[in-house]
Structure formats: structure tokens, C-alpha cells
Amino acid sequence: MSTGAGGGAGVFKRPESVLVVVYDGAGNVLLLRRRQPNWFWQSVTGGLRWHETPRQAAARELFEETGLRAGAGLADWCHSLTFPIVPPWKARYAPGVHTNREHWFGLQLPTRRMVSINPREHREYRWLPLPAAWQRASSWTNRQALERLHRLGAS
């Protein structure tokens, strides 16, 4: 997850992020295993920089974390949700900020691809069938996004 401050925002992180579900035409989903905590599996995620739109952040994070270019295939799922910021991360945000808004995107690839993960953020990646990805995803928001993918008919 990249952070970014700028303009009048000072050093605090913007309490807004993206989640990008990458999947192929056969119903497999790309998950990334974080460095810290090393048991945490997720789709592509990252914070919006102060000057970015959610779409710009999704394309940037996708490239930074996987080496994949979004192009026209990046689909805005027109869904966002708010979740509490967990205590270990609160110091990154301005005083009084307690929640983060996450925007969902999807990227369907014709077939699975090798990706180039960012070794500062992730240990490994796996392409998993959608049900296995749902079981492995560590966050409840990621599991909800994978449920949405299932409803869209990706498995």
C-alpha cells in the first residue's frame, strides 16, 4: 500500500483507498501475500494520494504492486465502503480520523499472467480459484469484493 501526501495535506495519509480485484476468464483470482504481517493475503490495495481520483490510484497501485497496466480494462465497480482504521495505523492519519473509505475496482485478464510483485510490500503471489481466494483473503472487505465478483459470474 503506498502512501502519499501533498499540497496542504501535510504528512498525514488520506483516509481513502482502493481495492483492485484482478481475475482471469477462468475464474482465478490474483492474491498477494504481504510482508507485514506475513500471513496477510489480499488483492491489490493502496491509499489515494491527495491529488488522485480513485481510478488514478487504482491504476497506479496495480502497476506498483504487480507490474500490470490497467488500460481500458480497469472496471470501476461503483462501490465503496467505510471501515475503522485499526490502532496500529492510526498515527498515519490526522487526529480525529477514525475511518477509511475503500473504492472497489476489477481487472479481468484473458488468462493468468506472471506478475512482478513489489518486494518491499509483498512476499509472493498466487492465482487461486475464486472459492479458495475467498477463503484465503485476510480482510472482510476483500472477501466482500470477491463475493461481488462471484455474483458477477466470474466463477
Delineate the domains of the chain, giving CATH numbers in brackets.
7-151 (3.90.79.10)
β 99-109/16-24 pair status: parallel
Please give the pLDDT value at position 8: 41
Report whether 149 contacts 131 (CB < 8 A).
no
Question: Cα(127)–Cα(28) distance, rounded to whole angstroms?
Answer: 6
* Nearest in space to 20 (alpha carbons), one of 55, 2, 44, 53: 44
Which helix or strand (DSSP H or E) is residue 105 part of? strand 99-109
Residue 54 and residue 76 in contact, taking contact as beta carbons nearer than 8 Å: yes
pLDDT in tens, the chain (155 residues): 434 444 445 689 999 999 999 999 999 999 999 998 899 999 999 999 999 999 999 999 999 999 999 988 999 999 999 999 988 889 999 999 999 999 999 999 999 999 999 999 999 999 999 999 999 999 999 999 999 999 887 65
Give Cα 65 distance to the centre of its chain.
9
pTM for the full predicted model = 0.90
CB burial of residue 96 (10 Å; 0-12, 13-18, 19+): exposed
d(CA 1, CA 61): 7
- Which residues have C-beta within 8 Å of that of residue 44, sequence separation ≥ 6? 18, 19, 20, 21, 22, 30, 32, 58, 61, 62, 65, 66
Number of neighbours of residue 29 by Cβ within 10 angstroms:
29
